[in-house]
A and B are shown apart, each in its own frame.
Chain A
Amino acid sequence: MYLNNIAMIAADTTRSKLYLLELIKKEMRPSYVILLLNKNNDLLPGQQYIKNKNELIELLVENNISFDIAPNCNINSHELVSLISIREEEVFIFSGFGGELLREDMLNSGKKFLHIHGGYLPDYKGSTTNYYSLLTENIIAASSMFLSNEIDSGSVLLRRKFSAPKDRTQIDHIYDSEVRSKVLIETLSKYIKSGIWDFDLKNNEGGEIYYIIHPVLKHLAILGE
């Protein structure tokens, strides 16, 4: 089964792969995927290994999901904005490289970008917030929303808290993505069931904006059990 009117922007990251695996497993294949591949030899944020063959392409081909490879890996490039603007889908699940923000041109392309933030909104906005919430509340979380001009300030569709994972060394590439994909699936399930995008928190104001956690605090969050 394919999602009607919902496509996906997927950078070549462990998170995108997990999203796609879960979407396929739950019979919620996006109607179209635009793939952002890293054509350099250096890893980009969110990538764990350099691979000889591309697992995302294999996954899409195996599951009959229509896709294009983006002309470059810059999410805000003019070419990519044009490519997305002309698509008929109204909503794009967004899974970019780590730390990327959508600029005005893309946000004004007439599409909605469904993003799953790794943190509980509105309390934890910004970057690496699951490490901060591990240190303060011993939990991790994820919240879904449509992206807006301000960081993590779009109306919240769904938010969930989760217990701290047993192996905290794998948060970046496994557990953070895992809780986000759970919230993604639950958000889409709700939409499919009701036919409308229902908001859990319309007014997503306030909270704290966090920045990339310092490695010392990151280690304390991982070592603390």
Chain B
Amino acid sequence: MLYYEYTKENQLRKAHNYMYAPYLGGDFINIYFNDRIKNLNRADSIYKKQHDDKVYSYFINKSNKLFSDSLHQDLLNKHYNIDSPEVVLLAEKKIYLSNLAPFNIKNDINTLELLSSLIFNLINDYDEDFVKKWLDLLVQRFEVTKKIYTKYQAGLVKGSGESDKLQLYCLFALSLSLYFVKKNSLKHLSTLLKVSDLLCSIENEVLRRTFSSRMFSLILLFEISIIMTLSKKLKGVDFVFE
């Protein structure tokens, strides 16, 4: 029986290299949808009472607006609780998020700061060239090592610190989603699918204590909706959302 092998084992412990993936027909897309819906349900069940911090709420609310044309409405209604999102005004909360100019490839990079700044700039349409440059450096690092480290040494060649901070993978996935919304870039969608696989491969007890459920749900909803649009009318893909 076919199953979606890319979320079966914790990818932080054993990363998949995705090389020469066998062709399994239209059924493969159906099992992908099933697996992602299962993970959406999982996110619903384990994170109900979690509150996001102000920056995350800001990212989620703004991203949700940018994704709104792409999101599958039935899925959104069923899986994503955004009835009364808290509107966060960064200026009022005195939260400062920088543009990307202060980041310099010659210096060590704090990944949380870089990802936060990337998302802030993507949301606000700032610094397009800088966004692509820094996002592509992270994409390159992730594709080669299948990890995101808390820090990168100057040149962004070598990661240092921890590589199991799910919060960073989640922010990375959000930045890839935002980039796809703006540029329709399949390269970044491909990496997004891999980062989502990694997040979906993590056990409940680890997920529960580490990151934003609403952000995770939003990313999965966005990704599923995009793949659904791309797979419309394809032979053998007959998944129906219930």
Contacts and interface: CB of A to CB of B under 8 A. Distances in A.
Interface of A: 45-46, 98-99, 132, 135-136, 169, 172, 208-220, 222-225
The 9 A-B residue pairs with the shortest CB-CB distance, nearest first, are A215-B21, A214-B193, A211-B143, A223-B234, A214-B190, A212-B18, A169-B23, A219-B28, A45-B19
B190 A217 contact: yes
Interface string B181-218: 00000110111011001000000000000000000000
Contacts of B25: 219, 223
Contacts of B160: none
Given A217-B193, A220-B230, A220-B231, A98 B19 contact: yes
B155 interface: no
Contacts of B6: 215
6 contacts: A132-B187, A208-B187, A214-B189, A216-B193, A224-B234, A225-B235
A216 B227 contact: yes
Contacts of B139: 211
A99 B186 CA distance: 20
Interface in B144-201: 186-187, 189-191, 193-194, 197
B189 A209 contact: no
B34 to A, nearest CB: 13
Contacts of B26: 219, 223
B103 interface: no
Contacts of B227: 216, 220
B29 interface: yes
Given A217-B186, A217-B189, A220-B231, A172 B29 contact: no
Nearest to B196: A214
Looking at chain B's contact residues, the main secondary structure is helix
A135 B186 contact: yes
A127 to B, nearest CB: 9
B20 interface: yes
Given A136-B186, A209-B140, A214 B235 contact: no
A125 to B, nearest CB: 10
A38 B231 CA distance: 38
A219 B19 contact: no
A223 B18 CA distance: 19
B36 to A, nearest CB: 10
A212 B143 contact: yes
Contacts of B17: 212
A218 B21 CA distance: 8
Given A215-B28, A216-B29, A223-B237, A172 B194 contact: no
Given A211-B139, A212-B17, A212-B18, A219 B24 contact: yes
B18 A214 contact: yes
B127 to A, nearest CB: 19
B80 interface: no
Nearest to B29: A219
Contacts of A46: 20
A169 B235 CA distance: 13
B190 A211 contact: yes
Contacts of A210: 187, 190
B6 to A, nearest CB: 7
Contacts of A132: 186-187
A152 to B, nearest CB: 14
Contacts of A222: 23
Specify which of A98, A222, A223 lies most central, judged by the most chain B CB atoms within 10 Å of its CB.
A223
A46 B136 CA distance: 27
Which of B21, B29, B234 neighbours the largest number of chain A CB atoms within 10 Å of its CB? B21
B234 A212 contact: no
Contacts of B237: 223
Nearest to B193: A214
A213 B187 CA distance: 8
Nearest to A48: B20
A29 to B, nearest CB: 29
